[in-house]
Amino acid sequence: MEESVVTNDLDEAQSRQVALELQAPVSRRPVARPLLTPSVRDYGFQPRDPAETAHQAASQLLNTYVIGPAARTPEELAQRTALRERFLTPQVTSLSEYRERLRVQGQRGSVSPMRTYPVVLQPAEDSTEYDSRFELWVEKARRLSSMEDLRASCSEVDARLERRLRFDYAKLRVKRRLPSGFQSRPRVGTFIMLL
C-alpha cells in the first residue's frame, strides 16, 4: 500500500516567496535599526529632559507637583549629595551686587555664568533667616507641599526645581525688596491661581 502525501499549494507558494525575498538585493529588504534607548524601543516613550521638566514645574503653582522618592539606600544618598553639590551650592551676595547683575543681564550684557545659586542677604540678615523666609515663600506663595521632602529627594528634577525656585526667590527679593516679614499674597499677575 502506497502512502499518499498531502501537499498544500499555499505552503509551496509561501516557500517560493521566501526564497525570492532571500535572493532579493539587500537594499530592498527591510533591516531592523537599533534605537537609542531601551525605553523608546520597548514603549515608544522618551523621557523629558530634567531641566525642561523642572522649568515647566517652576513656572506654575506647585500644589499638584509630585516630589520624587526620598533617598534611602547608600547609592541614593550619594546621588542626592552629588546633585545638591552640583546644583545647590549657595553664594552669598548683596542686594546691590545682584541687582547690578540682573540689570546687565537685562541689557543683554555679558555676565559670568553662575555655578551656584544667589543668596541675596539684606543688611543684618543671616543665611538661616534667609532660608526660613525662602521656605515660607515656597510653601505659601508657590504652594509646595513640603520643602523638607524636596530636599530629601534623590531626583535630578527635584534638585533642578529647588535651584530654579531659589533663583526666582532671589530675583523677587531684588525686584520687590520683600520686607523682613513675608507677605503671603503674591503680586497680581505673577501667578495664575486656579480656585
- pLDDT of 150-164, one tens digit each? 899 988 889 999 999
Is 0.85 surpassed by the pTM of this model? no
Q: Specify if 79 maps to a domain.
A: yes
Q: Specify if 96 maps to a domain.
A: yes
Burial class (CB in 10 A: 0-12, 13-18, 19+), 64: exposed
Q: What are the beta bridge partners of residue 109?
A: none
E-assigned strand segments in the chain: 90-94, 117-121
Q: Specify if 183 maps to a domain.
A: no
Q: Specify if 97 maps to a domain.
A: yes
**Rounded CA gap, 60 and 189, in Å?**
12
Closest CA to 118 of 141, 136, 139, 95: 95
Amino acid 178: pLDDT:
46
**Rounded CA gap, 151 and 61, in Å?**
18
Q: Specify if 92 maps to a domain.
A: yes
Largest CA distance in the chain: 112
DSSP class of residue 141 equals: T
**Rounded CA gap, 135 and 146, in Å?**
9
In degrees and rounded to multiples of 5, residue 174 shows phi and psi of: -70, -45
Amino acid 81: pLDDT:
93
Task: Indicate the number of domains in the chain.
Answer: 1
Q: Specify if 167 maps to a domain.
A: yes
Residue 143, sorted as left (phi over 0), alpha (psi -120 to 50) or beta, turns out to be left
Amino acid 110: pLDDT:
84
Q: State yes or no: pLDDT of 190 exceeds 80.
A: no
- pLDDT of 105-148, one tens digit each? 888 888 888 888 888 888 888 889 999 999 999 988 888 888 89
When pLDDT is averaged across residues 94-112 and rounded to a whole number, the result is 86
- pLDDT of 26-83, one tens digit each? 555 555 555 555 555 555 556 678 888 887 877 777 877 888 888 899 999 999 999 9
CB 157 within 8 A of CB 66: no
When pLDDT is averaged across residues 1-10 and rounded to a whole number, the result is 69
Amino acid 20: pLDDT:
77
Residue with cell 507641599: 145
Domain span at 156: 68-176
Q: Specify if 158 maps to a domain.
A: yes
Q: Specify if 145 maps to a domain.
A: yes
131 or 21: which leads in pLDDT? 131
Length of the chain: 195
